[in-house]
Amino acid sequence: MRVGVRAGILVLVTIPVAVLLVPTIFGGAYRDGRAPLAILLAATAVTAMAAPLHPIYISMGRDRTQAGIHVGAALLNVGGNLLLIPRFGMTAAASTTVAAQVLLLAAFAAGTARTP
């Protein structure tokens, strides 16, 4: 898990730089994409933190539970998108993605913490 946390922190550190570089690299027309980019990078950091937990969960024989957790996160993401994108646009799409990734991290962290 330590490697995942380090990778996640590394991604979080890049967020301010990435946000500043978007208009410089792609032009002013992409200025509105900075907030969703920051949110999606946060989701990437959470994903990196959760990545080492997935094989542990499988090795514990909880593959069906893992599949169910993934389905739940996907439903949260799709449902959130259907409800929120019409009103809040791409920021809502990015936000539901980070919410789904946090759900995955929390579920896998809780499930692997109970190992004997």
Give per-residue pLDDT as tens, 19-78.
Answer: 999 999 999 999 999 999 999 999 999 999 999 998 988 898 888 999 999 999 999 999
Q: For the chain, first and last CA: distance in Å?
A: 17
The confidence band for 2, taking pLDDT boundaries of 50, 70 and 90, is: confident
The answer, yes or no, to whether residue 115 has pLDDT greater than 70, is no
Q: Where are the domains of the chain?
A: 2-113
Q: Which amino acid is at 29?
A: A
Tokens of 34: 């900075």
CA distance 72 to 92: 18
